[in-house]
Chain A
Amino acid sequence: MLTFGTGNKAVAMAVRDAKPVVVAAYPITPQTEIVEELANFVTAGSMAARYIPVESEHSSMAACIGAAATGVRTFTATSSHGLVYMCEMLHMSAGARLPIVMANANRALGPGWNIGAEHSDSISMRDTGWLQVYVSTVQEAYDATLMAFRIAEHTDVLLPVMINLDGFLLTHITQTFETVEPGDFLPPTATPHAIDIKNPGGYGTLTPGNTHFTFRRDMERGMRASIAVIEETEADFARRFGREYHLYEEYRCEDADVVIIAMGTLGKEMEVAVDILRDEGIAAGAIRMRWFRPFIVPDLDGKEVVVIDRDYSFGYGGVLAGELQAKSGCKPFSVIAGLGGQEVTYDDIVEFVRIRKPGTEHWFGVVD
């Protein structure tokens, strides 16, 4: 059904359509509308889930862990301080191989107090074992949320998935989007290690040094296997519903000499910058990274690279730029832009390409 609404609303509608059994969440700006909509669906009877209001984000993830351990589909949503508050439980959920799905409205962390878009919240959860996808339109927020359940619950993966959408820029914009009837695109959950009271077993028991690493190695197997599962899920989604997604989205890259790489809404706005640069005779292209974990490296051979990071790792640099450099050997022009919702326009992105100096870092708006 073609409809019109915000990124938050699209996430909530996708969750409704995925028919989870348990939703446990705590509201936080700019994610609140997701939680409100889900509570409304449950109250109105359009969603059969058990909605558990909790006293904190740590508890919302704990509740999802308990529910998912019984083998049922679960969902939560958070943002910023809420995400980092549940950090311990993120490690617990991934380590327990529970396919929980969560939406995160990307937002800066304080102080200074700020509710604007920034990826530092989710990127600081990089090593928890969660898959992370970054979306750039309201439609993609809906589609990626639906697909996240199938990817997380696939028995080759069994790892939780975080859908990241830029706070306000995407959570609060109203756009056209289409909902679908997922049908058997989303098969019932079949968690192989679900708690079975007729067949008791131990969960989260002591694992000393002579076994612990085997569980960590298995997590990495799940993460690596997720790449094929993501591709297969996205291909099936395209076949059934007509909308195509890829591990990363390329725009006018075929003959490009310089490519701009970013995640989230900047990854969409930069397409306009590429069109402007092309009109000026500069062979520019753009790659929008969708998956941050697993990290999938595009072929950047022979291209100049401009990476825009809406995050920063102190003492290191822009995280996306650094990881691309480490994995591909490219020497990116690393631009730090959009922190805390800093306004970045397509004209600014054009300027980043014009002033690029490979192997250096540029903080947009900072005059040294």
Chain B
Amino acid sequence: MYEIRLHSRGGQGGVTAAKLIAYAAFLDGKYATATPLYGAERRGAPVVSFIRIDDEPIRIYSQIRNPDLVIVLDESIMQVVDVLHGIKPDGTVLINSQIGTEVEGHSTYPVDLTGIALSLDLVISGSPILNTPLIGAIAKMGLISRESAKTVISETFRDERNVEAALRAYEELEI
């Protein structure tokens, strides 16, 4: 089982991103679950979502404590939340960063999702859309197929720029 913990801020689309990643894994023929962790949500507050991907049906409902991958959609969260808490020793970290932020002790993949969204003018209510470029990055990491990533985005979003955003992230992320 592959376990992903996604850190974002309310309004950034983290909960939707988790669903879309799980949905892409489902289209790849895997079992997948996406679970949002609900508290007193408000715009801008730190939010956590969980994604599990497996070849067998998933029987676990509790939170992910030892993630294989930690995704950070807003690197300022790292000042207030220990995003690496419980991460597996060989776990990896994907950070949305405009300055190439890395963490010590873990393979880090910085990618400028915000820059990609802004360059395509993918902005809703002042917030850049990060979940579609994120799906491109996740596909590049090999967790979901390119084809499923594309299907999920075109089924969910009418705006073609979302597919373009995913493609750019796919190209920009260095593995």
Interface residue count for B (Cβ, 8 Å)?
Answer: 18
Whether A176 contacts B26 by the Cβ 8 Å rule is yes
Closest A-B pairs by Cβ, 4 of them = A345-B62, A174-B34, A265-B61, A4-B26
Whether B59 contacts A271 by the Cβ 8 Å rule is yes
For B38, give its contact among A115, A170, A175, A176 (CB under 8 Å).
A115
Would you give the 0/1 interface string for B104-144, flagging 1 where the beta carbon is closer than 8 Å to chain A? 00000000000000000000000000000000000000000
Whether A172 contacts B36 by the Cβ 8 Å rule is yes
Whether B38 contacts A174 by the Cβ 8 Å rule is no
- Contacts A4-B32, A174-B22 aside, 19 further interface pairs with beta carbons under 8 A come to A4-B22, A4-B23, A30-B38, A169-B61, A172-B38, A174-B35, A175-B31, A175-B33, A175-B58, A176-B26, A176-B31, A176-B32, A265-B61, A268-B59, A271-B59, A272-B60, A344-B62, A345-B60, A345-B65
Whether A174 contacts B33 by the Cβ 8 Å rule is yes
**Chain A residue contacts of B58, Cβ below 8 A:** 175
**Chain A residue contacts of B65, Cβ below 8 A:** 345
Would you give the 0/1 interface string for A154-177, flagging 1 where the beta carbon is closer than 8 Å to chain B? 000000000000101110111110
* Known A-B contacts A4-B22, A4-B23, A168-B38; A268 and B32 likewise in contact (beta carbons under 8 Å): no
- Say yes or no: is B19 at the interface (Cβ < 8 Å to chain A): yes
Residues from 131 to 180 in A contacting B, C-beta threshold 8 Å:
166, 168-170, 172-176
Whether A173 contacts B60 by the Cβ 8 Å rule is no
What are 17 A-to-B residue pairs whose CB atoms are below 8 Å?
A: A4-B22, A4-B23, A30-B38, A170-B61, A172-B35, A173-B34, A174-B19, A174-B23, A174-B33, A176-B31, A176-B32, A266-B61, A268-B59, A268-B61, A272-B59, A345-B62, A345-B63
Residues from 1 to 54 in A contacting B, C-beta threshold 8 Å:
4, 30
For B61, give its contact among A4, A30, A269 (CB under 8 Å).
A269
**Chain B residue contacts of A168, Cβ below 8 A:** 36, 38
**Chain B residue contacts of A268, Cβ below 8 A:** 59, 61
Whether A269 contacts B62 by the Cβ 8 Å rule is yes
Residues from 173 to 191 in A contacting B, C-beta threshold 8 Å:
173-176
- Say yes or no: is A232 at the interface (Cβ < 8 Å to chain B): no
- Say yes or no: is A343 at the interface (Cβ < 8 Å to chain B): yes
Would you give the 0/1 interface string for A338-354, flagging 1 where the beta carbon is closer than 8 Å to chain B? 00000111100000000
In the complex, how many angstroms separate the beta carbon of B126 from the nearest chain A beta carbon?
Answer: 26
- Total number of residue pairs linking A and B with CB closer than 8 Å: 53
* Residue of chain A at shortest CB distance from B37: A168
* Residue of chain B at shortest CB distance from A268: B59
* Interface residues of B, Cβ cutoff 8 Å to A: 19, 22-23, 26, 31-36, 38, 58-63, 65
**Chain A residue contacts of B34, Cβ below 8 A:** 173-174
**Chain B residue contacts of A176, Cβ below 8 A:** 26, 31-32
Complex Cα distance A21/B58, Å?
Answer: 35
**Chain B residue contacts of A344, Cβ below 8 A:** 62
Would you give the 0/1 interface string for A262-276, flagging 1 where the beta carbon is closer than 8 Å to chain B? 000110110110000
Complex Cα distance A315/B93, Å?
Answer: 49
For B62, give its contact among A30, A115, A174, A343 (CB under 8 Å).
A343
**Chain A residue contacts of B62, Cβ below 8 A:** 269, 343-346
**Chain B residue contacts of A172, Cβ below 8 A:** 35-36, 38
Complex Cα distance A62/B147, Å?
Answer: 49
In the complex, how many angstroms separate the beta carbon of A339 from the nearest chain B beta carbon?
Answer: 15
In the complex, how many angstroms separate the beta carbon of A13 from the nearest chain B beta carbon?
Answer: 16
Complex Cα distance A332/B58, Å?
Answer: 28
Complex Cα distance A238/B51, Å?
Answer: 30
Residue of B31, B34, B36, B59 with most partner-chain A CB within 10 A: B59
**Chain A residue contacts of B22, Cβ below 8 A:** 4, 174
Whether A269 contacts B59 by the Cβ 8 Å rule is yes
Complex Cα distance A346/B58, Å?
Answer: 13
In the complex, how many angstroms separate the beta carbon of A95 from the nearest chain B beta carbon?
Answer: 36
Complex Cα distance A170/B60, Å?
Answer: 11
Complex Cα distance A272/B26, Å?
Answer: 22
Complex Cα distance A176/B31, Å?
Answer: 7
